[in-house]
Amino acid sequence: MRNLMLILTMLANCQLAIAQCFVTIPANAVVINNDTTVGMVNQIWWVCSGDTLNGSGVYNTYYVESGGVLAMSGIEKIVYLKSGASIDCSGIDDTIYYEPGAIINCSGNHVDIPCSQIIFDDSNAPSPGCDVTSTSDNNMLGKELKVSPNPASDQLRISFTSSKAGVGKLITRNTLGQTVLSSSYNLKIGKNRIVIDATGLPNGIYFLRLSAEGLTSSTKINVTH
């Protein structure tokens, strides 16, 4: 019954699930910005780009950003998958809304509903959440990572600004959420540039995530040899 009411509401909001799907991430959502294993009932989860949520649960709702991975068992899950997100699941009476490019690998009884685009309204969501574009003066990292060239075939140059000096960790993950590159760098105040070698990466989409002092900035790249 819970899923039926949500499906009817979402079909109305999504214009029969063939146009944009607009969903609001509530203030009580739990942000997953590190690989995590859980077991919960009636909880709301927001999985960030490049992170993985594993576990089981009942009556849970999941918002999964591009590059996020959900590996979950249980019943009556409600899942929203951005393009590049993936889910590996088993359960009963699950409902999965997804953009083109999302990866669904599920067994059991589930309904898959396509949306041309899923828009997450995070205006009431926990802060900083999965937001990687904050421009607060207190941020360790700048507004965004600038990547060139993109698409890349060999060397990839990443430029950004930092308001403080510190150690940053750059992680590169594929669309399955698997870490393919990971390195640490000393960051200086002002402009920074990191060069990574992409020659060993197969063609495809990857997600870069730079973390420092609990703050993150992410971007997507395309590798084409």
Same domain, 54 and 116: yes
Does 168 reside within a domain? Answer: yes
Does 126 reside within a domain? Answer: no
Q: For residue 13, give the 3-state DSSP assignment.
A: helix
Beta strand extents in the chain (DSSP E only): 20-24, 30-32, 36-41, 44-47, 52-58, 61-64, 69-75, 78-81, 86-98, 103-114, 117-121, 146-148, 155-162, 166-174, 179-187, 190-197, 204-212, 215-223
* Two structure tokens written together for 121: 């309204």
Determine the Cα angle at 131 with ends 127 and 132, to 5°: 135
Does 134 reside within a domain? Answer: no
Domain of 197, in residue numbers? 146-223
Does 132 reside within a domain? Answer: no
Same domain, 28 and 104: yes
Same domain, 108 and 150: no
Does 161 reside within a domain? Answer: yes
Determine the Cα angle at 70 with ends 212 and 207, to 5°: 45
What domain count does the chain have? 2
Does 128 reside within a domain? Answer: no
pLDDT tens, position by position, for the chain (225 residues)?
555 555 544 544 444 444 568 888 898 999 987 778 887 888 999 998 878 898 888 899 999 988 888 998 888 899 999 888 899 988 888 999 998 888 899 888 889 999 888 888 877 888 777 754 433 334 445 556 788 898 889 899 988 887 778 888 888 888 766 789 999 999 888 888 899 999 999 998 888 878 776 666 777 788 998
